[in-house]
Amino acid sequence: METAAVKSMLAWYREHQRVLPWRSLPTPYRVLVSEVMLQQTQVTTVIPYFERFVQAFPDFAALAAADIEAVLKLWEGLGYYSRARRLHACAQLVMENGGELSDDPTELARLPGIGPYTAAAIASIAFGRPYPAVDGNVLRVQARLLADDGDVSSQSARRRVYERLLAVIQQTPDPSAFNQAQMDLGAMVCLPRQPLCDECPLRVFCRAFASGEPTVYPRRPERRVTPRMHVAVGLIFYRGRLLILRRSEDQMLGGLWEFPGGKLESGETPSQAVEREVREETGLTVEIGALVGVIQHAYSHFRITMHAYRCRLAEIGEPVVACERLHAWVIAEDLPKYAFPKANHKIFACEGFAEGFQE
């Protein structure tokens, strides 16, 4: 990037930068929390989560001392829950090592949940160190500036852009503004499908704009078809309490709570799957009752269709749950205290769900 382009971008940033809660007080802790939340999540979604999170856990000490259940509860609905567990582990490690974050991206990248992008973002925004933070937005802006139609999703392309920008940012008096200006430009002006070139401070330097077809750049990898999975779950009530199980830490959505159930096996109906899964997961024998709802939910790499059935315990007497995972029988009022995946919240919203608590 030539010097005049950097100057033009920084002038634009001074005037147009987004007002974001972590920018008003960019301490290492707040920058870390915001950057981890922003991994794969939109800014507008992150803002209320960030505000609640830093209010509950204002610094590394508070987060390190917190119960993981409380951390997951505040993360509920933000998705990619391994980020919350890694952030918690990161805070504990920081506290064990004196309570301060390093300003060196290599050191930072050794901490849980911090990759090269987050490390460079923290080093530059919280400490003013000259390291470029290269994410998808930056790759797009850079590909367009140079009319580079290569595949920007590869590691080598990312490395090339990093090296190029490293030389530029080292000559820049304000590395934090440099990185954040590129982030804002990618998010507000150089949009993936409809770039607002007329408002862009880089227009005169941009080869993609000069070509007349800026959206040709960067080349998009071919889209893969997202697979769909059918799962079935059982809503087992006993004396006004609902049975829930905690997912193990090493699973996707680890540490969150859910209903017993799982994937349909070949040739199985959803109700047969519930009966089998409940027996395998809890040792309980159930009779399948009414279908409470069928919901659809999309994760990053697959979609699910989830069938939820009310279940009656087939055995008489106090149910004994034989389960390796943690389980709980919860009353309706306590349900909000537990963190659940979004798909389960869709089941909560189904008509007839709450009736089971009245039995």
| Residue 329 identity | W
> Contact 291/307 with Cβ under 8 angstroms?
yes
E strand residue ranges, 261-302: 261-263, 286-298
Contact pattern for ligand SF4 over residues 187 through 206, marking x by CB under 6 A: --xx----x-x--x-xx--x
- Closer CB to ligand SF4, 194 or 266, in the complex: 194
209 lies in the site for ligand SF4, by CB under 6 A: yes
d(CA 36, CA 112): 11
- Closer CB to ligand SF4, 141 or 264, in the complex: 141
Q: How far is the CB of 148 from ligand SF4 (least distance, A)?
A: 12
Strand, helix or coil for residue 49? helix
First-last CA distance in the chain: 68
Number of residues forming the site for ligand SF4 (CB under 6 A):
14
Token output for 16: 């147009």
Rounded (10°) angle between helices 43-56 and 68-75: 150
> Quick one: DSSP state of residue 151?
B
Q: 80-104: buried (b, 16+ CB within 10 Å) or exposed (e) per residue? A: bbbbbbbbbebbbebbeeeeebbbe
- Closer CB to ligand SF4, 36 or 181, in the complex: 181
Contact pattern for ligand SF4 over residues 152 through 191, marking x by CB under 6 A: -------------------------------------xx-
- Closer CB to ligand SF4, 8 or 118, in the complex: 8
214 lies in the site for ligand SF4, by CB under 6 A: yes
Q: How far is the CB of 187 from ligand SF4 (least distance, A)?
A: 11
144 lies in the site for ligand SF4, by CB under 6 A: yes
- Active-site positions read 35
Q: Which residues bind ligand SF4 (CB under 6 A)?
A: 141, 144-145, 189-190, 195, 197, 200, 202-203, 206, 208-209, 214
